[in-house]
Amino acid sequence: MEILILGAGSLGSLIGGLLARAHDVTLVGRDPHVAAVRDAGLRITGVETLTTHPAATTDASGASADLALVTVKAYDTPGAADALATCDVDAVCSLQNGMGNEERLAAGLDVPVLAGTTTYGARLADPGHVEWLGRGRVTVGPWRPVDAVARSERVAAAFRAADIDAAATTDVRRRLWEKLAVNAAINPVTALARVENGALTPPGALAEVATAAGTETARVARADGVDLSTATVHEAVEDVVRGTARNRSSMHQDVAGGRRTEVEAINGYVVDRAAAAGESVPVNRTLAALIRGWEAGAGLR
């Protein structure tokens, strides 16, 4: 399969580098990373150590591919859609965190859109070098058209051909809401307290705040017509806290690095959907206000 990775930072480089074991992959990213990959290939260290040789470019215009995977931060999705509009791709699939990405891609592009989530973990360590922090799973399902199940199966099979654990789902909205609940619970709490994910292990005050944010998110999901139980969310949050105990969440890394966060696509989205449904979500509202306040103070908004 010919695969374009739109946004070759941490996650995109890892997934693109692994896919290059079985497919014809092009990374679209920034220099000096792109130049380093062109010169010496992409070095992956951590869970496994390997070097692969995807093509790499800073300019996607005119590219063609069977599939484009979108791995930019949620606030860069409109720019990714603009870049992909200049390409000839058969389908696009977001692997991003947060909500609203698929709507933005579907609004800007006239091709089938798939929604994906992943629990793989990655960090761009140096130009040409990505750290593989955790083996996870990719889940892919149809977004538009909603019955593009066979296409989702083909995409999941393409991941598996490169030895990436992947499955197709017919219930991708539920999967997105579940991942949203995990991110809404873990990301702002770890970012504000500046702790590793494992610090949210119950019992404790931080675990209580995270659990409350997850509980609210599950309630808003149900108000949005998604069958997501509070117990499922609590279990998912606890599993991720346990499985990524030594990791810093992406929002914690962003705050520590003085970078803009994805709070609008995570807690901000929960607050907006809650308002539309007449639900009260004081914990998400407070967490969003604190992260937004930090961003404003840091001159990022």
Catalytic residues: 179
Q: Of the ranges 115-123, 154-162, 230-238, 291-299, which one interacts with ligand NDP (CB under 6 A)?
A: 115-123
Residue 182 touches ligand NDP, criterion: CB under 6 A: no
Contacts to ligand KPL from residues 246-275, by CB under 6 A? 247, 249-250
CA 84, CA 107: separation in Å to the nearest integer? 12
Residue 74 lies near ligand NDP (rule: CB under 6 A): yes
Cα gap 69→117, rounded to integer Å: 11
Question: Strands 92-94, 67-70: parallel, antiparallel or unpaired by DSSP?
Answer: parallel
Q: Which residue in 71, 139, 190, 197 binds ligand NDP (CB under 6 A)? A: 71
Smallest distance from ligand KPL to CB 125, Å? 17
- How many angstroms separate the most distant Cα atoms in the chain? 55
Residues in a beta bridge with 276:
none
Beta strands at 92-94 and 113-118: parallel, antiparallel or unpaired: parallel
**Shortest distance, position 123 Cβ to ligand NDP, whole Å:** 6
C-alpha to C-alpha distance for 100 and 242, rounded to whole angstroms:
28
Q: Which stretch binds ligand KPL (CB under 6 A): 3-11, 159-167, 168-176, 182-190?
A: 182-190
246-285 residues near ligand NDP, rule: CB under 6 A: 250, 262
Residue 61, amino acid:
S
Residue among 37, 155, 186, 291 that touches ligand KPL (CB under 6 A) = 186
- How many whole angstroms separate alpha carbon 47 and alpha carbon 122? 10
Rounded to whole angstroms, how far apart are CA atoms 57 and 163? Answer: 25
- Give me the residues that bind ligand NDP (CB under 6 A), please: 7, 9-12, 28-30, 71-74, 76, 79-80, 83, 96-98, 118, 121-122, 124, 250, 262
